[in-house]
Structure 1
Amino acid sequence: MMEQRLTDDEQQVLKTGAFGAVFLVSNADPGVFAMIRESFAASGAFAEASGLVKEALTAGSLPRLPRDSTLEIESVVLPALGRAVDILRAKSPADLSAYRELVLAAAEQVARAHRGVTPAEADTIARIRTALAGPVEPA
C-alpha cells in the first residue's frame, strides 16, 4: 500500500503527540535548566525523523498544549498519541514503528538529559508507551 499524504489536522495530531510526550516527561521532573537541556535532547531525537513523520513534525506551527496541570496535559497528549497511531496505521503503516520509536527515544533522551531518569519520568514514559501501543490488534 502506498503512503497517503496527511491532512494538516492529522499532522497536528502527530505533532501534538510527539512534542506533548516530550513536554510531559520534561514536566515530570521540572526545573528551568533541565527544560533547556531537555528541549535540545528532544530536538536531536526529532531530527532523526524521516518521510511522512518528519514532514508532520517539521511542518506548520508547534502544537498548543495546556500548561496548567500534568493531568490536563496528559488528557490532550495521550489521546493524541493514540490517534497518531490510528492515523499512521491507516495512511502509512510503514511509518508507524518509526513514529513510535522516535517519540519514545525523544522521551527517554529528555528524561536522561538532566540527572538521569527519575521515577516520575519513568512512570510518564510508561504511560506514553501504553498510549503508543494503541488498541490491541485482533489476532
Structure 2
Amino acid sequence: MVEYYGWISISDSTYESDDGEMSLILNKLSSYITEYKVQNASGFINVHEVNGSYQVMVSGNTNHLSQDVIEIFNLYEYIARIAIGSYGLLYIRNDESLDACNEFEVLVLARGKVRKEKDTFLSPCIPVIEDDEE
C-alpha cells in the first residue's frame, strides 16, 4: 500500500509575491494538472486561495506505487521549478519499499528544490503507530 499526504504554499518569490507572476504560475499549474491528469489520481488534489495566499493540498491511497502517485511526486518537482518561493511537505508511506517499508519518507519542497528526508514523528510505523502481528 502507498499512502501520501501533503501541502504546498505557492509563491513566485522567496521575498515578495507579484500578482501578475502568480497569475501566470496558477495558469501553468492548472494546465499541468489537466495535461498530466493529476486530478484523476487515487486521491484528491485541491488548489485554492486563502487570505491572498495560494495553497495546494494532496492526499491519496493506492494498493501499489503507480503512475498516479508518481505524478504527485512530479507535481512537487514542477512547482519547485515554476514557483521558486514555494514550500511544502509530502509524507509518503510505501510498505513495498525495500529501504523504507516501515517508515514514512518526506519530500521537502523549498527554494526551488525537492529533497527526500526520513520522518522522525511517525516512524518506525511499527511500533509508533501500529502493533506488530502477533
Normalised by the length of structure 2, the TM-score is 0.44
Return the structure number with greater strand share.
Answer: 2
Find the structure with the greater CA-based Rg: 2
Normalised by the length of structure 1, the TM-score is 0.43
Return the structure number with greater helix share.
Answer: 1
